[in-house]
Amino acid sequence: MAQIVYKKEWNPTVIEMRVEAPLVAAKARAGQFIILRVDEEGERIPLTVAGYDRAAGTVKIIFQVVGATTMKLAQKAVGDCIPDFVGPLGVPTETDGLRKVCLIGGGVGCAIALPVAEELHRLGCEVTSIVGFRNRDLLILEDEFRACSDRLTIMTDDGSYGEKGNVTVPLSALLSAGETFDRVIAIGPLVMMKFVVAACRPFAVPVTVAMNPIMIDGTGMCGCCRLSLVRDGKRITKFACVDGPDFNGYEVDFDEAMSRSRMYADFEKQAREKTCNLYKKAEGRD
């Protein structure tokens, strides 16, 4: 059992929790993830480690309420327990030797990008952060990014905060002006990462993307998180849970990844509606 010791609602759909999990906190590194279940009959879902406190033995997770499991998790309060909280899993983000990095975060993906930015900053790397949201109401972690970034640009689709447009606008402007980076790291929606890679390609800037496909066991046995990479003209299969979640953005078949991400959309919608109706009945709102 992992007890919830802190909870914060960043906005109506994004929630932060700090969970007492000393064994996970002792070994967690930026870029890794955990797999949890909210009850004994629940599905397993991966959530990236958004931070950790080794001394306190706590792990921070930030998640968006998008399906039945995250809806159930959002209903839990401080003092409640998560029965299964396993990790850290995956390969930590590569940070050694990087001196100048542009970090791109989109939406709730910024919760994944933040610990990477913090680790790079701690190592003395010059960090340029570009984060994007649909609108001002969905903005999260601004102060935290400012604290670990040498430059921070905030983008909103509707221009309600920061600059109007998507994250590739300032990225392309920097690269076109002659700015160079040891690496661009993109974390967010698949379509965002696909276009970040496209923006970097003419400049041959190394790009790392963080993939978060459907997972079940987190050990590479089930095969659900498989990705297709194109390397030296050959297609190869990798598993995000054990080979990733970080991959060379130029090698990822994003179209296939997006297609696979939609495979269970109808099932997820039905599960969410069922869970939502259960909560409404419990509250006498049916």
- Alpha-carbon gap, residue 30 to 117, rounded angstroms: 9
Phi (first) and psi of residue 78, to 5 degrees:
-55, 130
Domain 2-89 shares a fold with domain 93-210: no
Quick check: 157 and 169 in contact, CB under 8 A? no
Q: Where are the domains of the chain?
A: 2-89, 93-210, 211-266
Strands (E), 22-139: 33-37, 45-53, 58-64, 81-82, 84-89, 100-106, 126-133
- Domain 2-89: give its CATH architecture: Beta Barrel (2.40)
Residue whose C-alpha is closest to residue 12's, from 138, 143, 192: 138
CATH class of the domain comprising 93-210: alpha beta
- Interior CA angle at 191 toward 193 and 98, to 5°? 5
Residue whose C-alpha is closest to residue 186's, from 145, 229, 247: 247
Examine the pLDDT at 120 and tell me if it is beyond 70.
Answer: yes
Taking each helix axis as running N to C, give the angle between helix 168-176 and helix 190-200, from 0 to 180 degrees, rounded to the nearest 10. Answer: 10
Residue whose C-alpha is closest to residue 54's, from 85, 83, 88: 88
Other beta carbons within 10 Å of 118: 18
Examine the pLDDT at 161 and tell me if it is beyond 80.
Answer: yes
- With a CB cutoff of 8 Å and minimum separation 6, the contacts of 73 are 15, 17, 36, 38, 63, 82
- Residue 276's pLDDT is 56
- Residue 125's pLDDT is 95
Would you call 250 helix, strand, or coil by DSSP?
Answer: coil
Would you call 227 helix, strand, or coil by DSSP?
Answer: strand
Quick check: 40 and 83 in contact, CB under 8 A? yes
Quick check: 191 and 165 in contact, CB under 8 A? no
| CA distances (Å), origin 157, targets 20, 54, 149, 153, 168 | 36, 37, 22, 13, 12
Q: What tens digit of pLDDT does each residue of 175-222 get? A: 999 999 999 999 999 999 999 999 999 999 999 999 987 777 777 777
Residue with the larger pLDDT of the pair 213 and 78: 78
Examine the pLDDT at 129 and tell me if it is beyond 90.
Answer: yes
- Alpha-carbon gap, residue 76 to 256, rounded angstroms: 35
Q: What is the DSSP string of 145-173?
A: HHHH-SEEEEEETTSSSSEES-THHHHHH
Q: What tens digit of pLDDT does each residue of 223-271 get? A: 778 888 998 889 999 988 889 899 999 999 988 888 876 766 665 666 5
- Alpha-carbon gap, residue 209 to 114, rounded angstroms: 14
Examine the pLDDT at 62 and tell me if it is beyond 70.
Answer: yes
* Type of residue at 200: C
- Residue 171's pLDDT is 97
Phi (first) and psi of residue 25, to 5 degrees:
-60, -30
